[in-house]
Structure 1
Amino acid sequence: MKRIAIFSLVALFLSCAGKQDLSPSETSKIVVESFYNKDNTTLKKHTTPEGFEGLKMIQDLMTAGKSGDSNFKVLEETSDDKTAWVRFTTSYEENPELFKLLKVDGQWKVTQQGPREKGPF
């Protein structure tokens, strides 16, 4: 009986500690904050390879002198099975920003927009 209780607790703990499915908005917030805090490990985890390279190229130019709470606020969000768009504001930039996200292996990841590609908003 004691073994069953221990195995049940271990199984419950492992199931709760599994991968967390983040929404496009939650993923966008993580990417913004990791970008400005220069947490490239987290940034890479939540972006596609193209998205990471693009953000990494402009990171030093954009993050100079910007720190503190992001005050991330979603203005609009739309998604289908494979693609999502999130328009948001932060305390780091005056104008709203837009992220395109792709679902990769069941997880939302920020990617680069194509040249001349416009979002749905």
Structure 2
Amino acid sequence: MKKYTTTDGYSGLLMIQDMVPENNKEVTVEILDENVDGDTAWVKYNTSYDEKPGVFKLIKENAQWKVSSKGPRERGPF
């Protein structure tokens, strides 16, 4: 996971991972929307374990997209 995230994004994903219940149930993910603006992208998604859609922010680093964390007052396109 660390390979595909920025430093800030990694710590945020660890927090999210701790909130996901551990069970043997298969988790499904559905991409609802995406928005790319230069080296920043936003992805809106649904999962089978959460009732509310989530949003990931991605940053392009060294020609590779990496999950990043959203700033406290930063608003995405969704």
TM-score in terms of structure 2 length:
0.87
Structure 1: stretches of 5+ with no match in the other structure: 1-42
Deviation at 1:98, TM superposition (A): 0.2
Is it true that 1:78 corresponds to 2:78 in the alignment?
no
- Number of residue pairs aligned between Structure 1 and Structure 2: 78
Structure 2: stretches of 5+ with no match in the other structure: none
Distance of 1:67 and 1:93 partners within structure 2: 16
Query: Which entry has the higher C-alpha Rg, 1 or 2?
Result: 1
Is it true that 1:99 corresponds to 2:22 in the alignment?
no
Deviation at 1:94, TM superposition (A): 0.7
Is it true that 1:49 corresponds to 2:1 in the alignment?
no
The amino acid of 1:79's aligned partner reads V
Q: Cα RMSD between the aligned structures?
A: 1.5
Match of 2:10, SS state, is: helix
More helix by share: 1
Could you tell me whether the CA contact under 8 Å between 1:66 and 1:92 is conserved in 2? Answer: no
Deviation at 1:67, TM superposition (A): 4.7
More strand by share: 2
Distance of 1:73 and 1:120 partners within structure 2: 18
Match of 1:51, SS state, is: helix
The amino acid of 1:44's aligned partner reads K
Deviation at 1:85, TM superposition (A): 0.3
Distance of 2:47 and 2:15 partners within structure 1: 20
TM-score in terms of structure 1 length:
0.59
Is it true that 1:89 corresponds to 2:46 in the alignment?
yes
Q: 1:59 to 1:112 in 2, by over 3 A?
A: same
